[in-house]
């Protein structure tokens, strides 16, 4: 019997790669629902190819346009609109697998809906854990969901850990996240004020969306991954290390108590962790090019430079802070990155927004999703104020 899949964020890079893997295994998977924000043309193309039951657009005008064009094409796909519709397709009883690939905190409610409904949840939206933290994990436990990481680093760690999570505390010394270092690994930090959005979005190894590309350039993406790893694998923050590996061949490593290190290697292609998440515990063909060890470049490893990547240390700071601190950092960073992409602040000022938003933050009690969403909104207001102040200089 085919597994029914909902893809939240199907027009982004993760969504597109997921559909590429699904297309290679049509005998195993059917697409139940797809979602996007505003990219009508691409979602139309995906709907006509995969014929999902539902298509969701978060913007009402875009949904109306998509519905009209699908009707003209003779498609039977039903178009829904709004955030509530995302939750609906994430928890539908006909769905077994949900790919969570919506960027940012906007994807958290639908991720929670899938977790509460007990789905196999393929988590490419790291913000679900960065913002949701224990609230999200509680929903996973209560719903009986199966949480599988899709970030290449976290998938690599998952593949390198023992199968029994109960054995991790006594067998694992630490986990080591690798980072490419992004496009400015060798650029003088004194010139960061001159960086343009186009330069920041030109990643040397990976093809990604604009927001995550900027996060990679600042290494804030790795800071968020440290937070995600803390919740995914139940490790103490001091058991999580980051090392720069510019070639992106080793995707992450696990060091055991006897000092043995187990790593997962592969070409930098997101279809590999996607295929693993879709087929786990089996493995299916992903479409990625296999490694040719005879042609591999020399692999190098570097310690992160705090002057070049000041935002990385914020991960451990917020993990040591009160509940909700990780949500504050995520919200501030989303505001700061968008402001940089819009030309309101410089690349070097992204960290200033994040640092300023965190300073003096007094976190309220967090017990539910509503508390986290309130913190998210308050942090965005504080971050926007910092953007205005910096932009006025």
Residue 198 lies in a domain: yes
Asked if residue 169 and residue 146 are part of one domain, the reply reads: no
DSSP 77: P
Alpha-carbon span 140 to 147, nearest angstrom = 7
Do both 117 and 28 map to the same domain? Answer: yes
In this prediction, residue 365 carries a pLDDT of 76
Q: Is residue 313 part of a domain?
A: yes
Two tokens at 360?
């003096």
Count CB neighbours of 230 within 10 A: 22
The bridge status of strand 54-57 relative to strand 172-179 is unpaired
DSSP state of 311: G
By CB atoms closer than 10 A (0-12, 13-18, 19+), residue 279 is: middle
Same domain, 234 and 361: yes
**Residue 284 in domain:** no
Are residues 142 and 187 both part of a single domain? Answer: no
Range of the domain at 235: 164-266+295-391
Separation of alpha carbons 98 and 92, rounded Å: 10
299 and 200 both lie in a single domain: yes
Residue 341 lies in a domain: yes
Domain match, 209 and 335 both: yes
Residue 91, domain CATH: 3.40.50.720
Distance between start and end Cα atoms, the chain: 61
pLDDT at position 104? 76
Model's pTM, two decimal places? Answer: 0.92
C-beta atoms surrounding 167 within 10 Å: 11
- Asked if residue 5 lies in contact with residue 32, where contact means CB atoms within 8 angstroms, the answer is yes
Which pLDDT score is estimated for 362?
Answer: 79
Please tell me the number of Cα atoms within 13 Å of 376 on its side-chain side. 21
Asked whether residue 351 is assigned to any structural domain, the reply reads: yes
Asked if 262 and 348 sit in the same domain, the reply is: yes
> Do 145 and 172 reside in the same domain of the chain?
no
Residues 138 and 245 in one domain: no
Pair (351, 373) in one structural domain: yes
Of residues 75, 81, 82, 77, the one with CA closest to residue 52: 77
Q: Are 261 and 378 in a shared domain?
A: yes
- Structural domain contains residue 282: no
In a domain, residue 280? The reply is no
- For residue 319, tell me if it sits in a domain: yes
Number of independent structural domains in the chain: 2
Residue 255's CATH number: 1.10.1740.10
pLDDT at 393: 62
Backbone angles phi, psi at 46, to 5 degrees: -65, -40
> Quick one: tokens of 206?
């990976």
Each residue's pLDDT expressed in tens, for the chain with a length of 393 residues:
899 999 999 999 999 999 999 999 999 999 999 999 989 999 999 999 999 999 999 999 999 999 999 999 999 999 999 999 999 999 999 999 999 999 877 888 999 999 999 999 999 988 889 988 888 999 999 999 999 999 999 999 999 999 999 999 999 999 999 999 999 999 999 999 999 999 999 888 777 788 989 999 999 999 999 999 999 999 999 999 999 999 999 999 999 999 999 999 999 999 999 999 999 999 999 999 999 999 998 999 999 999 999 999 999 999 998 888 999 999 999 999 999 999 999 999 999 999 999 998 877 778 888 888 899 999 999 999 999 999 866
Tokens at residue 73, please? 């094409």
Query: How far is Cα 331 from Cα 27, in angstroms, rounded to an integer?
Result: 40
Asked whether residue 245 falls in the same domain as residue 311, the answer is yes
**Last residue in a domain, options 119, 150, 181:** 150
Continuous segment of H or E residues that includes residue 134: helix 127-143
The predicted pLDDT at position 392 comes to: 65
């Amino acid at each position: 019997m085919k597994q029914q899949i909902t893809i939240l964020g199907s027009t982004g890079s993760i969504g597109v790669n997921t559909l590429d893997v699904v297309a290679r295994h049509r005998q195993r998977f059917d697409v139940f629902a797809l979602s996007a924000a505003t990219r009508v043309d691409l979602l139309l193309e995906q709907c006509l190819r995969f014929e999902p039951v539902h298509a969701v657009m978060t913007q009402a005008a875009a949904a109306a346009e998509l519905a009209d064009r699908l009707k003209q094409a003779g498609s039977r796909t039903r178009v829904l609109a709004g955030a509530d519709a995302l939750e609906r397709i994430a928890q539908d009883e006909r769905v077994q697998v949900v790919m969570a690939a919506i960027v940012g905190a906007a994807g958290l409610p639908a991720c929670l809906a899938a977790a509460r409904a007990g789905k196999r949840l393929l988590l490419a939206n790291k913000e679900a854990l960065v913002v949701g933290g224990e609230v999200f994990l509680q929903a996973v436990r209560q719903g009986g969901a199966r949480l599988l990481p899709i970030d290449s680093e976290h998938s690599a760690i998952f593949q390198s850990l023992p199968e029994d999570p109960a054995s991790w505390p006594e067998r694992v010394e630490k986990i080591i996240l690798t980072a490419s270092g992004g496009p400015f690994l060798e650029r003088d930090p004194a010139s960061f004020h001159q960086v343009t959005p186009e330069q920041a979005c030109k990643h040397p190894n990976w093809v990604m969306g604009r927001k995550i590309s900027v996060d990679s350039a600042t290494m804030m993406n790795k800071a968020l991954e440290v937070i995600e790893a803390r919740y995914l694998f139940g490790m103490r923050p001091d058991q999580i290390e980051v090392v720069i590996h510019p070639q992106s061949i080793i995707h992450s490593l696990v060091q055991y108590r006897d000092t043995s290190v187990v790593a997962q290697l592969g070409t930098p292609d997101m279809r590999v962790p996607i295929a693993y998440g879709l087929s786990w515990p089996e493995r299916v063909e992903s479409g990625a090019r296999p490694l040719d060890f005879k042609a591999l470049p020399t692999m190098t490893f570097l310690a992160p430079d705090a002057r070049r990547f000041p935002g990385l240390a914020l991960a451990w700071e917020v993990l040591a802070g009160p509940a909700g601190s990780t949500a504050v950092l995520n919200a501030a960073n989303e505001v700061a990155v968008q402001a940089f992409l819009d030309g309101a602040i410089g690349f070097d000022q992204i960290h200033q927004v994040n640092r300023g938003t965190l300073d003096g933050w007094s976190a309220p009690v967090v017990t539910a999703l509503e508390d986290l969403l309130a913190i998210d909104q308050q942090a965005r207001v504080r971050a926007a104020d910092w953007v205005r102040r910096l932009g006025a200089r």
